[in-house]
Every structure is written in C-alpha cells, then in structure tokens.
Structure 1
C-alpha cells in the first residue's frame, strides 16, 4: 500500500500577509505541513533577521500553536555569488533551529556554472555534518538556468559528488523556462534523487505565465502525484499568486498582496484536486 502523500503549503502564496495568520489558514484547510518561502526576489528582498535565533524561536512557536510540521525551507538566492557559502551556512543554522533537514534552492546562471559547482562542493561537508540536504531546484527564469532540465541537474549532482545535495523538483518552473520540454516526464526522471517537490500549475495569458489552482493549468499532475506518494517524497503547493512571469520567463511581483479570500479559495481548490488524484 502506498504512503499517503505528504502535502504542505509553501508560504509564497501568503506573500505580504502575517505568518501567524498564514499558519492558521493552512491548518484550518487541513494541511499538516508548511514550507517557509525565504526566497530572494520572489517574495521581496530578504532581511537577515529572518534567519536569526529570535525568528527561529518565533517560527517554532507558531508551528506548535497551529500544530503544523515543517520538512523543508525555501531559501533560493544566486548560489554562484561570492558570499554563497557564508549565506548557506546561515540558512543551515536556521534550518536546524526550526527542525528542518531539507533546504530548497534554485541554482544560478549557466554562465556562472563553475562557481556554482565550487560552492556546492564547499558546502557539502557542512551539510553532511549538520545532517541536512541542499535540494537544488530546476529554475523558472534565466537567473537560474544552470539547471533547467533533468539531464542538467543529473550532471550537476555528478560533478558535486555528495549525497547531501539532491533535487527539489518543480514542473511549473520548467513550463516558463523550457516550454519545449515535457515537464511532468522530466520530474519523473528526477525521482531517484528527488527528496522534495513543488506542485505548481501554469497557464498562459497572452504571452505571460500565471499560476492558477492546481488542476486548472496545463500540467497533468496525476502520474507525478502517484509517484511522489509511492516513493514517500514530500511536496508543497507552491503557488506564488502575487507573481507572474513575462514571456522571457522573468518574474514580476505585484505591488500589493493577494486578498486572503482568494488565497483560501486557491488552496482549497488545489487540495480538492490533489485529493481526487489519489483515489
């Protein structure tokens, strides 16, 4: 009998709303897991205080208050930048403080591939010592095109050569960056080294990419959802409603947060759809 799907919510959908409120909504809708979206640029510019002991204590208190668990931390930034190893050490420390073993991050530009590989090799022993795993994610825009397709990710893992670096898959990202690829088939190819997955659907409005409730876009998630359950790979709904992507894949973030009623509606519809795929 397959494992029940470990399905949570990535907090990017609540961009601009209070986390206490967000955690409460996630719990009320029947989810057990939450993934913090501390991703540079996608949810605004990050403040270093997010990774402080004080904020870790606050997040743990909110998890206890709302009876939620967290398995992964979203912490995308340019992994080729000179400070990347220092930044990752800070995020590993924060992840440990909130009880998380999986750190999800997109990579870097293809032109900075050598620096990316060097930094991943440097951080690998620290990840191993901490008992954590850095999960590199296929990019959704050209700032993170060093890993866009499954074969590129597999090559990157071979060059890094550490079990502490694996995959977080995101089919929705592939739609905007490599629309020529079969995104679900590519995710299935990543499964042997996938430790976490983002569930994101996409539709095109003109030449731009937007993010609807799961099941209302172009992706047929059934084979991937079934495989994630069979292999006991956790996943979160990553539906960045406040953001859309231009024709060239670059993200644009709205000046105002999405209304809470819309967020609740999208999460409820998405959960209903995914629950239906498992029967």
Structure 2
C-alpha cells in the first residue's frame, strides 16, 4: 500500500516547496486540489500548462505520486448553470490530469447536506453529469473517480451499483472510498458487517481510499480525530485491503501536521 495525504492540509504553498515537504514528511503520494494547494492558482481557470509542467516535474523529482487530481464539483445540482459548469470543469481537469500523470480526477456528487427528498430530486441530474464526464474520460483515456457520501445523491451501495450499471465502463469510472463519509450512525452500526457489505459489493471499483477518523460532539456534530482515536473501526477494512488490494493508495484527509507522524505510523500498520 502507498501512503499519501490530501496535500492542501499542509496549507497553500509554491509547487516545488510542497513537493519537497511531502517527501520529507514521508509520503509516497498526494491528492492535489490545485486551487487549494498551490500559490498563484485561485481557481481551475487559472491553471496553465506551465503550472502543470512544474507540478509533474517537481512531484516526479521528489517521488510523490498523484493518485487523485481533486476537482470536487456539484454534479447533481438541479440548477442547470451550476451543473454545466461542474461538468465542463471536470472535463477540463481530465485533460490536466493526463499532463501531471494523475491516476484519476476525483469528485463527490454534491456540495450541501441534502434531505432524503432532495437526494431523490438530485439523483437523475447527478447521473446525467457523470455520464457526460465519463464520455470525455473515454475520449482522453482518463479516469473519473466518484466518492459516495451518505448526505449526497450517491449515498449508499445501491446507488453506487446503479451508477456503474448505467455507465457500463469501470475502466474510465472508478470509486474513492471514504469510510468516514459513509458512517451516519456509528453508535448503532455493526461496522464489521457494514464495511464487509460495502467492500464485497463495490470493492472492485475502488481506486483510492481516503483515511480519516472522527468523533461526535454532544450535538452529534462532526469532530476530526487522530487515526485510531475516533469512531471508525478499521479492522475489517484493513483485512480486506490485505486480501484484495495490497497496492491501494491510502490518502490521509483532515491531517493535522503536528500529528502527521502518528497518522503515518497508523497507516503503515495496514
């Protein structure tokens, strides 16, 4: 397994400085959301070929792979203008991902926390957007990776299987698996069974895993935690990785630089 990090958790830096820092910290890989990670890039429209060339060269020099080119868009929004912008931005980033050698372009399927009724309304819009972006991925021989989140239209195993059934192209459409985004009721969930059900059914589509942990405050609010100190029970996930995907990218999200060493050590146990 290859241990990586969401790069902008270290703040916004010059391209070369960030690549050097990640190598010194001990990472093998990074998820890059360019407007969040690099100085001089405020939005995706600011990206130039010079930026992409610098990124590719710097990250190759420091032996940091780029499994995910982050471009999280509001794919299911019923507002046609918002949705069109999301699709076009993702198409642009698919081309950019080829330039920097990224494995996939990663996105969730919405921005806001949706109600049950809203998820149903947004779902067909999400599906249409995914199909449009995958068409571009096929032309470029690039990959789109979608990330399930329980408060988004792509909320559960059934939704994931439906998307892959409709798209019928698991070469150009992949999955980012983030356990923390799928565990709505940790206090009432048999996690051994829950993660087994997820991984047995959709494991073959997973390209990357996000690794994070959290606790709930008195109001059931989300509070990031060090790995192993929150509610996520990783034993079942670890065993699945060892048996089925020993070469998986593990990308730490919500990392606190002060405790990066402990988190890296935790992931090395995988």
TM-score norm. by structure 2 comes to 0.79
**Offset of 1:186 from its aligned partner?**
5.1
Give the Cα–Cα distance (whole angstroms) in 1 for the partners of residues 247 and 126 of structure 2.
Answer: 26
Which residue of structure 1 aligns with residue 79 of structure 2? none
210, 215, 228: which one aligns with 2:241: 228
Q: Which has the higher helix share?
A: 2
114, 139, 152: which one aligns with 1:129: 139
213, 216, 225: which one aligns with 1:201: 213
**Offset of 1:9 from its aligned partner?**
1.3
Contact 2:31 2:251 in 1 (8 A): no
Q: Secondary structure at the match of 2:236?
A: helix
1:44-76: CA deviations, max 9, x gaps?
x95124543122112113213422221221211
Tell me if 1:106 matches 2:118: no
110, 113, 116: which one aligns with 2:126: 116
Give the Cα–Cα distance (whole angstroms) in 1 for the partners of residues 14 and 49 of structure 2.
Answer: 19
1:210-238: CA deviations, max 9, x gaps?
22222121112133134234324532333
Please show how residues 12-161 of structure 1 align to structure 2 within 5 Å.
Answer: 12-38=8-34, 47-49=43-45, 51-80=47-76, 81-108=83-110, 110=119, 111-139=121-149, 142=151, 145-161=152-168
Tell me if 1:184 matches 2:191: no
The 1:136/1:12 distance shift into structure 2, 3 A limit, reads same
Give the Cα–Cα distance (whole angstroms) in 2 for the partners of residues 233 and 132 of structure 1.
Answer: 20
**Offset of 1:127 from its aligned partner?**
1.0
The number of aligned residues is 244
**Offset of 1:131 from its aligned partner?**
1.9
Q: Secondary structure at the match of 2:216?
A: strand
Give the Cα–Cα distance (whole angstroms) in 2 for the partners of residues 134 and 178 of structure 1.
Answer: 29
Which residue of structure 2 aligns with residue 248 of structure 1? none
Give the Cα–Cα distance (whole angstroms) in 2 for the partners of residues 36 and 268 of structure 1.
Answer: 20
Q: Secondary structure at the match of 1:55?
A: helix
1:72-102: CA deviations, max 9, x gaps?
2121111131223311211101101101231
Give the Cα–Cα distance (whole angstroms) in 2 for the partners of residues 178 and 158 of structure 1.
Answer: 28
Give the Cα–Cα distance (whole angstroms) in 1 for the partners of residues 159 and 28 of structure 2.
Answer: 33
